[in-house]
Structure formats: C-alpha cells, structure tokens
Amino acid sequence: MRARDIMTSPVVTIRPEATIQAAAALLTDRGFTALPVVDEDDRLVGIVTEADLVRDRILPDPRDHLRRERVPRAPSRSTVGEVMTSPAVAMSPGTDVAQLAAALLEARQRSMPIVDGSRLVGIVTRRDLVRVVGRSDTDIARDVKHRLEIYGRPGRWTVQVRDGVVTVGDEYDDATDGHVAVALAEAVPGVVRAEVSGPGG
C-alpha cells in the first residue's frame, strides 16, 4: 500500500503571507492540526501547526495583581511565513504506508505532506491511517477480489477476510500466481496479512 492509495487530495493549504489569525481560523473551522504552506505554484515551502500559531500569542492577564514581572508586549510576528516550520518534511506518493506511519509516530507528527518533486499533491494524516485500520472486512474483500480479477480471470479466485487477514483461494493452485495474489492483496488498504490456499481450501 502506497501513500497515493490513502492520501487526501486536493489539500487545504495556506500561503506564507496569510495572517496567523486566518490560519488559526482555518484550522478551527476544518478541525485540522496543521496546514501545508505553499507558494503560488503549489510548491511546499513549509508547514504550520497549532503549536506554531499559539506560541507567544497568549499573553498573561494584566489584571493579575499577584504578577510582579512586566507583562510582555504582543509578538511582532503576524504572518504564517514568520512562524511556520521550513523546510517541511514530506514524502512521495510512492512511499510505503508502513514507512510513512513509522515516520509519523517516531516524529510525533499528525500529518505528512505528499509531494511530487516539490509540488504538493496530497497529505496523509493519522486519521487516514486509523481509517485504513478500521476498514470493514467486506470492503477489503471487495477490493482484493477486484484486483485479483484484473490480474486473472473473474471467478478464478475466492476471497475470505477476517479481522483484516485475507485468505485467497486459487482453483489452479499455481505457486507463481499465488505469490502475485499475496502481493496484490497486501497492497489493499486495511489488509493485515494475506495467504493463498489451494483448491481444497
């Protein structure tokens, strides 16, 4: 399974010259935790997160009479370009989703921009990964069967799925085709493991 199989496209983005207030409103309205920042040619130039927008923007209440230090002034930074992380870490559409998931978890990121060269073409979030894990066995079986029918003739294969584990039945019990069938099945989002059984089950 590749990033292109599960990424969201087109992507909601923001420009570097946008205000911090506009970016915060967009995150709030869409329920996102981060936004890719792109230039006029849709090239990824950075990423702005909730933490980037909040940092140094919440001032202490000046009415707190117990506070002895001077209340700081509002920050001078006002645009996304001034607070975004740049360059942004990104991956290609052909990236293995297992590699992408490991990178997200290791970096404690919630999303990964997907780029073709430097042009933003999609984004994969933790929610996309959870959606893959939560796919129903019925949907998985349908997709596996479709891929197998493209490879071989319709009716040759039987497909059973239980908790994401796929068992493919091949009426010809051909070892080479069996390896291909496993590879095709394991490329389907939601498949945990695939195996092939012969005509006898």
Do 121 and 144 sit in the same domain of this protein? no
Check residue 156 and report its DSSP letter.
S
Instruction: Write the CATH number for 37.
Output: 3.10.580.10
Do 108 and 128 sit in the same domain of this protein? yes
Do 95 and 163 sit in the same domain of this protein? no
Cα 36 to Cα 32: distance, rounded to the nearest angstrom: 11
How much is the average pLDDT of 23-30?
Answer: 94
Domain count of the chain?
A: 2
* CA-based torsion, 63, 67, 70, 72: positive or negative: negative
Do 39 and 107 sit in the same domain of this protein? yes
The confidence score (pLDDT) of residue 66 equals: 59
pLDDT, tens digit, 9 for 90 and up, residues 92-126: 999 999 999 999 999 888 999 999 998 999 999 99
User: Of 92, 89, 78, 74, nearest to 16 (Cα)?
Assistant: 78
Do 123 and 150 sit in the same domain of this protein? no
Q: How confident is the model at residue 74 (pLDDT cuts 50, 70, 90)?
A: low
| Average pLDDT over the chain, rounded to an integer | 88
pLDDT, tens digit, 9 for 90 and up, residues 132-186: 999 999 999 999 999 999 888 888 889 999 999 999 998 787 888 899 999 999 9
| Residue keyed to tokens 């010259």 | 17
Q: How confident is the model at residue 64 (pLDDT cuts 50, 70, 90)?
A: low
| Residue keyed to tokens 């319709």 | 154
Do 170 and 80 sit in the same domain of this protein? no
Cβ partners under 8 Å of residue 55, min gap 6 = 83
| Residue keyed to tokens 């915060």 | 24
Structural domain of residue 42, as residue ranges?
3-133
The radius of gyration computed from the CA coordinates of the chain, to the nearest angstrom, equals 23
Region of 31 on the Ramachandran plot (φ > 0 left; ψ -120 to 50 alpha; else beta)? left
What pTM did the predictor assign? Answer: 0.76
